[in-house]
Amino acid sequence: MGLLAAALVFTIAGTGMGTFTGLVPGVHVNTVAVFVLALQAPLFAAVSSVSGVFGVEADSAPILVALMVTAMAVAHTFLDIIPSVFLGAPDPDTALTVLPGHRMMLSGRGYEAIRYSALGSLGAALVALVLILPARILMGEPINAYEHITPFIPWVLIAVSSFMILGERATWEKIPQRRRKSLEAKGRNTPTTGDHLRQKTWALGIFLLSGLLGWTVLNGGLETHNTLLFPSVRASLLFPLFTGLFGIAGMLLSLYETPQTAEQKMDNGPLSMETGAKMKNVTAGTIAGSMVGWLPGISSASATVVAQTLVGKQKPEDADRGFIVAVSGVNTANVLMNVVALFVIMKARSGAMQAVSTIAGDAVRGWDVLLDVPPLFSLLLVAVILTSIIGYVLTIRIGRVVAGRYDAIPYRETTLGIVIFLWVMVALLSGPVGILVACVSTLVGLLPPLVGVQRVHMMGCIVVPVIMFFI
């Protein structure tokens, strides 16, 4: 009972940490995981002191820290929708929600977007729990599908990336103003085949450019020329890479825009989307997110595109709602399947799970026999369930507060403060080389919104290096 009580306390603590990382743009779970790994010794001592109150021995500290990190990762997937909707400051997992979320916010339905996101995350957690046993049987003994899939991973990544690039289409708003005037002079007000081809070309170019940048960061030996102020607290160069591509670039552009606000509707009544449509989006998001949890290189943004394909055509009024439900479901299901993959194929598919694997050590043992469930895995599942419930409530409550006070938020000052904060974090955690990476990646990150293509193509920074590694 003492261990369970301590586990509850540290699960709640991890949920609080995930709330912080979710609400503060640019502070990702993987960044905090770096701190956790760097400060293991003092952290274990502090955890041992607290758990001692419950009669738990000091050697249980790694287990409790692993629970805390897992809870943080789950809570983050619930709360990160709030800055995406109201500040337009996404992390890579929520990059695609900015446009639908902003559309709803600008029509006074920002709080409604938050509610749909919370529903998508909670629904995905529940559906993913049901899929754990089938996933274990499929990916582990006796089928071992993962071993059979591995040789085809690069081709799966190429297929998914090609699908997204070829799916890029021009809209009237994306066409440069000079060309729009030219077409209007000819009596046309719709994109031409050439416009669609131009968008696909831009998408391919951005995908390859970000891929080259990602390969350089991962394989260019940049770390050997880096000097850190605090060598014991080191972040991967992926931190400034993603911060520039998906964080700083978008916020710099928003500084030049005139903030638009609308009175937010605070309706707590039943969500208007039909139950069948909700379930379809939740299920599609869970399936796509589960794929991300097992296969390296496939991002949550890519999986969201797949999820929307699985859902098919929706009612016009449900398009944005369904999209938000699906992308939230992808992110939460991804974390849960990361946990399952860690015990079934013994591979960490995220920074958080890498931290859990390192910290928990021998407690992370393979789930080799179907009925012999590793004790730590069971504890982590309990943490996931509890965090999902708390995360849902916190998202609804905090989202309502933010929506109610949105007009009082100094948009430009807040955005500028976040940008400065991100640069400071890059300098402290990644050093001069990190600053250089962040500068270059910010320039690349400016391209998609300027030419009118989706940000998801910048995930080439991970996809291209993974493809090259497997090939």
HEC profile of 157-220: HHHHHHHHHHCCCCCCCCCCHHHHHHHHHCCCCCCCHHHHHHHHHHHHHHHHHHHHHHHHHHHC
* Confidence check: pLDDT of 349 > 90: no
Residue 112 inside a domain? The answer is yes
* Confidence check: pLDDT of 467 > 70: yes
Give me the pLDDT at residue 333, please: 94
Give me the pLDDT at residue 188, please: 79
Residue 343 inside a domain? The answer is yes
91 near 26, Cβ under 8 Å? yes
Give me the pLDDT at residue 419, please: 86
Question: Which residues are within 8 A (CB) of 173 and not within 5 positions of it... i.e. 6 or more apart?
Answer: 452
- What Cα–Cα distance (Å) separates residue 422 from each residue in 35, 89, 243, 244? 16, 12, 7, 9
d(CA 2, CA 50): 12
- What Cα–Cα distance (Å) separates residue 448 from each residue in 28, 204, 225, 345, 455? 22, 11, 30, 36, 6
In 3D, which of 349, 389, 390, 357 has the Cα closest to residue 374? 357
Give me the pLDDT at residue 65, please: 93
300 near 334, Cβ under 8 Å? yes
Domain range for 212? 2-261+274-470
Give me the pLDDT at residue 394, please: 97
* Phi, psi at 220, each rounded to 5°: -90, 0
- What Cα–Cα distance (Å) separates residue 248 from each residue in 88, 91, 221, 441? 11, 10, 24, 9
d(CA 216, CA 291): 27
Residue 346 inside a domain? The answer is yes
Mind listing the pLDDT tens digit for each residue in 110-122? 899 999 999 999 9
Higher-pLDDT residue of 334, 90: 334
Q: Record the tokens describing residue 375, joined without a space.
A: 């004790």
In 3D, which of 410, 295, 395 has the Cα closest to residue 345? 295
d(CA 332, CA 143): 26
Average pLDDT over residues 179-189: 78
Residue at 177: amino acid letter: Q
Burial label for 374, CB within 10 Å (0-12, 13-18, 19+), is middle
Residue 367 inside a domain? The answer is yes
d(CA 107, CA 451): 25
Q: At what angle do helices 110-139 and 319-344 cross, to 10 degrees?
A: 30
d(CA 7, CA 11): 6
* Confidence check: pLDDT of 251 > 60: yes
Give me the pLDDT at residue 261, please: 63
Average pLDDT over residues 130-136: 93
Give me the pLDDT at residue 197, please: 92
Residue 267 inside a domain? The answer is no
> Which pLDDT band holds residue 4 (cuts at 50, 70, 90)?
confident
Max mean pLDDT among 79-88, 188-197, 352-361 falls in 352-361
* Confidence check: pLDDT of 96 > 60: no
* Confidence check: pLDDT of 254 > 70: yes
* Confidence check: pLDDT of 248 > 90: no
* Confidence check: pLDDT of 159 > 60: yes
Residue 266 inside a domain? The answer is no
Mind listing the pLDDT tens digit for each residue in 304-343? 666 766 666 777 667 788 888 988 999 999 999 999 999 9
Give me the pLDDT at residue 226, please: 72
Higher-pLDDT residue of 32, 337: 337
Q: Record the tokens describing residue 123, joined without a space.
A: 């629904």
d(CA 374, CA 399): 37
Max mean pLDDT among 24-33, 136-145, 199-208, 262-271 falls in 199-208
* Confidence check: pLDDT of 90 > 70: no
Max mean pLDDT among 133-137, 148-152, 218-222, 319-323 falls in 133-137
Average pLDDT over residues 296-309: 68
d(CA 338, CA 76): 14
Max mean pLDDT among 120-124, 148-152, 257-261 falls in 120-124
Q: Record the tokens describing residue 302, joined without a space.
A: 């890519």
Mind listing the pLDDT tens digit for each residue in 357-411? 999 988 899 998 888 999 999 999 999 999 999 999 999 999 999 988 877 777 7
Q: Record the tokens describing residue 438, joined without a space.
A: 């962040």
Mind listing the pLDDT tens digit for each residue in 222-237? 877 777 666 655 667 8
Instruction: Name the strand (E) or helix (H) holding 148.
Output: helix 145-149
Q: b vs e for 81-109, b when ≥16 Cβ sit within 10 Å of the residue's Cβ?
A: bbbbbbbbbbbbbbbbbbebbbbbbeeeb
- What Cα–Cα distance (Å) separates residue 344 from each residue in 47, 64, 367? 28, 21, 5
* Confidence check: pLDDT of 470 > 90: no
Average pLDDT over residues 425-429: 83
- What Cα–Cα distance (Å) separates residue 131 from each residue in 282, 286, 339, 408, 413? 13, 9, 13, 43, 44
Residue at 60: amino acid letter: S
Lowest-pLDDT range, 187-196, 206-215, 230-239, 355-364? 230-239
Question: Which residues are within 8 A (CB) of 35 and not within 5 positions of it... i.e. 6 or more apart?
Answer: 233
Average pLDDT over residues 257-275: 75
d(CA 341, CA 343): 5
Higher-pLDDT residue of 37, 359: 359
Mean pLDDT of the chain: 84
* Confidence check: pLDDT of 99 > 80: no
Q: Record the tokens describing residue 446, joined without a space.
A: 């400016």
77 near 29, Cβ under 8 Å? no
Residue 268 inside a domain? The answer is no
Q: Record the tokens describing residue 44, joined without a space.
A: 């274990």
- Cα-Cα-Cα-Cα dihedral sign, residues 287, 288, 289, 293: positive
In 3D, which of 290, 279, 381 has the Cα closest to residue 325? 279
188 near 175, Cβ under 8 Å? no
Residue 392 inside a domain? The answer is yes
- Count how many domains the chain has: 1
CA 380 to chain centre: 20
Give me the pLDDT at residue 42, please: 84
- What Cα–Cα distance (Å) separates residue 189 from each residue in 73, 96, 365, 375, 452? 46, 27, 61, 62, 17
